[in-house]
C-alpha cells in the first residue's frame, strides 16, 4: 500500500517523497481515506504511530484549491505539540499554497493577533490562548470546515474542558471533526459523543522499537458482548497474529464460530483436539495462514508460541500466574506486543488480584459503545 493508493493529491505525494516517507503507517492507512471522505473520526493512537500525519495529510489535501480563509482548527494540549503539528502541516504543504500559524500562550500576543487577522488556512492552537483571541475577535471561524482535537485525553487531564466547550460553541456545527487520543476514558468518550457525528473509530496498536515492551490494557465490556468487541478490535486494527485465550473449550469453539461469521478465519487449540491437530493449527498460525488462534491455557503449554504480536485474554485468567505466562508469549520475540484483557463486571476482582501480583495497574481502555461502565 502506498500513499497514492490512499487518494492523496500530487502536491502531497511530492512532499511525502521529499520527506522520505515510503509507506503509510497503520493509522495512516486506516484514517486517511476516511478523513478524505469527510467522515468524523476517533483515532486511538499514541505518539510514534504517525498519528499527526494521519490528520494533517487529509486536512491539507482538502484545503487545496479552496479560498484563503481559516478552514481548519487543530487544538493541542501543549505548546510543544502545537509546534509539532504546525511543522507537520508545513512539511506536507511544502508543495502547496497552504498557510498555517501556531497559537499558544507564554509568548507575545501581537504577532499572533496580526497573523490571525490577516487570515490563515490552518490555526494550530492551545485552548487558553486561542480563547483570548476569540474573545477579542481576532479570529473568525465562520468558514471553519474541520476541527481536530489532538491528544484529547491530555487536554482534558489538563483541565481544558471548559475552554474547549467555549471554542467549539463558536465553530459552525456543520463541519468535520477528528478526535485523537491515546486512551479513551469516559470523559473523552463523552467529548466524542458531544462533538462528533457518527464517528468511525480507528485504533492501532503501539509501534514500539523496544523488543521487550508489552503494552497491557484492560477493556471493560459486558460479558455477552465480548464476541462483538473481539470482532471490532480485529477488524479495526492492524493486528497481525493474535492469540486469543478463553477459559473453556466450548468458549474457544464459540469464539471461532463467531469470528467465522464475521469472515475472520481462526483456528482452535484445546484439549478436545488431537496433538496432531494442535500442531497443525499452530503451524498455520505461525506461517500466517491463520491470523487468529483461539486457545485454552492447557492446550498451549509446552508449545513454542513465540513471535506473536497480540494476546487477547477473552476471559480473565483465573490464576494470576496464568496471566504472566500468557503475556510472556508476546513482546519477547515480536517487535510489538500487546496484551489485552476483556473484563466483564464479574471479573473486576480477578483483574485486581492480577494487578497486585504483577505489581502494576493495567490501564483501562474503553471502546465507545462497549464499556459496561457507561
Ligand atoms: P507521530 O506519531 O505523529 O508523533 O509521528 C512519529 C514520527 O514518525 C514523526 O517523526 C513523523 O515524522 C514520522 N512519520 C510519520 N509518518 C511516517 C511514515 N509514513 N513513514 C515514516 N515516518 C513517518
pLDDT at 147: 98
State the distance between the two ends of the chain, measured CA to CA, in whole angstroms. Answer: 37
Q: Say yes or no to pLDDT of 238 above 70.
A: no
Centre of ligand 1 to C-alpha 54, Å, is 9
The pLDDT assigned to 332 comes to: 40
How many Å separate Cα 333 from the centre of its chain? 24
Phi, psi dihedral angles at 67 (to 5 degrees): -70, 155
Unique residue bearing C-alpha cell 500525519: 53
Q: What's the pLDDT band for 121 if we cut at 50, 70, 90?
A: very high
Give just the sign of the alpha carbon dihedral 201, 205, 209, 213.
Answer: positive
> Is the pLDDT at 189 greater than 60, yes or no?
yes
H or E segment and range at residue 215: strand 215-220
In the predicted model, is pLDDT for residue 94 greater than 80?
yes
Quick check: 128 pLDDT over 70? yes
Q: How far is CA 347 from CA 217, 219, 310, in A?
A: 14, 11, 21
202-206, 304-308, 332-336, range with the lowest pLDDT: 332-336
Q: In Å, how far from its chain's centre is CA 351?
A: 23
Considering the chain, what percentage of its residues have pLDDT values greater than 90?
Answer: 53
Asked whether the predicted pLDDT for residue 206 surpasses 50, the reply is no
Residue 308, SS3 per DSSP: strand
Residues in the chain: 374
Q: Give tens-digit pLDDT for 57-83.
A: 999 999 997 788 899 999 999 998 999
Atom 23 of ligand 1: nearest residue by CA position: 50
Give the ranges where 93-178 is alpha helix by DSSP (H): 110-118, 127-135, 152-157, 161-168
Least confident of 104-118, 171-185, 242-256, 320-334: 320-334
Give residue 360's pLDDT: 73
pLDDT, residue 335, reads: 39
Mean pLDDT of 230-254: 86
Range among 59-73, 311-325, 345-359 with highest mean pLDDT value: 59-73
Between 333 and 138, name the one with better pLDDT.
138
CA of 359 to the centre of ligand 1 (A): 33
337-356 in b/e form (b: 16+ CB < 10 A) is bbbbbbbbeebeebbeebbe
Q: Which of 23, 78, 19, 18 is nearest to 47 (CA)?
A: 78
Q: Is the per-residue pLDDT at 207 higher than 50?
A: no
State yes or no: pLDDT of 276 exceeds 60: yes
Return left, alpha or beta for 288; rule: phi > 0 is left, psi -120 to 50 is alpha, else beta.
left
Q: Mean pLDDT, the chain, as a whole number?
A: 86
pLDDT for the residue numbered 363: 81
Does the pLDDT value for residue 192 go beyond 60? yes
For range 219-237, the mean pLDDT: 88
pLDDT of residue 337: 60
* Least trusted range by pLDDT, from 141-150, 207-216, 273-282: 207-216
Reported confidence tier of residue 361, pLDDT bands at 50, 70, 90: confident
pLDDT for the residue 168? 96
Round to whole Å and give the CA distance between 327 and 348: 19
Hey, what's the cell of 328?
510472556
What per-residue confidence (pLDDT) applies to 373?
Answer: 55
Pocket test for ligand 1, best of 25, 48, 74, 84 (most atoms within 8 A of CB): 25
Q: Pick the atom of ligand 1 nearest to 48's CA.
A: 2
Cell output for 200 = 468511525
- Protein residue with its CA nearest to atom 9 in ligand 1: 50
Q: How many helices (H) and strands (E) does the chain have?
A: 15, 13
| Structural Rg of the chain based on CA atoms | 23
At 356 the three-state DSSP class reads: helix
Q: Cell numbers at residue 28, please? A: 495512516
Q: Whose CA is nearest to atom 6 of ligand 1?
A: 48
What does residue 123 show for φ and ψ, rounded to 5 degrees? -110, 125
**pLDDT over 70 percentage in the chain:** 90
Pocket of ligand 1 (CB under 6 A): 21, 23-25, 28, 47-53
Q: Please report the domains of the chain, with CATH numbers, ordered by start residue.
A: 3-204 (3.40.50.300), 214-358 (3.40.50.300)
Distance 66 CA to ligand 1 centre (A): 27
pTM of the model: 0.61
Question: Given this model, what pLDDT does residue 60 score?
Answer: 95
Q: Using CB atoms within 10 A of its CB, is residue 215 exposed (0-12), middle (13-18) or buried (19+)?
A: buried
**How far does the centroid of ligand 1 lie from the alpha carbon of residue 53, in Å?**
7
| Residue 213 reports pLDDT greater than 50 | no
Phi-psi region of 339 (alpha: psi -120 to 50; beta: other; left: phi over 0): beta
Q: Kindly state the average pLDDT of the residues 85-100.
A: 93
pLDDT of residue 358: 73
Amino acid at each position: 500500500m502506498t500513499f497514492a493508493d490512499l487518494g492523496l493529491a500530487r502536491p502531497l505525494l511530492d512532499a511525502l517523497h521529499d520527506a522520505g516517507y515510503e509507506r503509510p503507517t497503520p493509522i495512516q492507512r486506516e484514517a486517511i481515506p476516511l478523513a478524505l471522505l469527510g467522515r468524523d473520526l476517533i483515532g486511538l493512537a499514541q505518539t510514534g504511530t504517525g498519528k499527526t500525519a494521519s490528520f494533517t495529510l487529509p486536512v491539507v489535501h482538502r484545503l487545496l484549491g479552496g479560498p484563503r480563509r481559516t478552514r481548519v482548527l487543530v487544538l493541542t494540549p501543549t505548546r510543544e505539540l502545537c509546534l509539532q503539528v504546525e511543522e507537520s502541516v508545513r512539511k506536507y504543504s511544502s508543495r502547496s499554497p497552504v498557510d498555517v500559524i501556531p497559537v499558544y500562550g507564554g509568548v507575545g500576543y501581537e504577532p499572533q493577533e496580526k497573523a490571525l487577522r490577516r487570515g490563515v488556512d490552518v490555526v494550530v492552537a492551545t485552548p487558553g490562548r486561542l480563547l483570548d483571541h476569540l474573545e477579542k475577535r481576532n479570529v473568525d471561524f465562520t468558514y471553519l470546515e474541520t476541527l481536530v482535537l489532538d491528544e484529547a485525553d491530555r487536554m482534558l487531564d489538563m483541565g481544558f474542558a471548559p475552554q474547549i466547550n467555549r471554542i467549539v460553541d463558536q465553530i459552525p456545527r456543520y463541519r468535520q471533526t477528528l478526535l485523537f487520543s491515546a486512551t479513551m476514558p469516559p470523559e473523552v468518550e463523552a467529548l466524542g459523543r458531544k462533538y462528533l457525528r457518527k464517528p468511525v473509530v480507528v485504533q492501532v496498536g503501539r509501534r514500539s522499537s523496544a523488543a521487550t515492551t508489552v503494552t497491557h490494557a484492560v477493556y471493560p465490556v459486558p460479558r455477552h458482548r465480548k464476541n462483538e468487541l473481539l470482532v471490532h478490535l480485529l477488524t479495526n486494527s492492524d493486528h497481525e497474529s493474535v492469540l486469543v485465550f478463553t477459559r473453556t473449550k466450548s468458549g474457544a469453539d464459540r469464539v471461532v464460530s463467531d469470528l467465522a461469521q464475521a469472515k475472520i478465519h481462526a483456528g482452535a487449540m484445546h484439549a478436545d483436539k488431537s496433538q496432531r491437530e494442535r500442531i497443525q493449527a499452530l503451524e498455520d498460525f505461525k506461517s500466517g495462514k491463520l491470523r487468529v488462534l483461539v486457545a485454552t491455557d492447557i492446550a498451549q503449554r509446552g508449545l513454542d508460541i513465540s513471535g506473536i504480536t497480540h494476546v487477547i485474554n477473552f476471559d480473565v485468567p483465573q490464576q494470576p500466574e496464568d496471566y504472566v505466562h500468557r503475556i510472556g508469549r508476546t513482546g519477547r520475540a515480536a517487535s510489538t506486543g500487546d496484551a489485552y484483557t476483556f473484563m466483564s463486571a464479574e471479573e473486576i476482582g480477578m483483574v485486581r488480584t492480577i494487578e497486585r501480583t504483577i505489581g502494576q495497574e493495567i490501564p483501562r481502555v474503553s471502546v465507545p459503545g462497549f464499556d459496561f461502565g457507561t
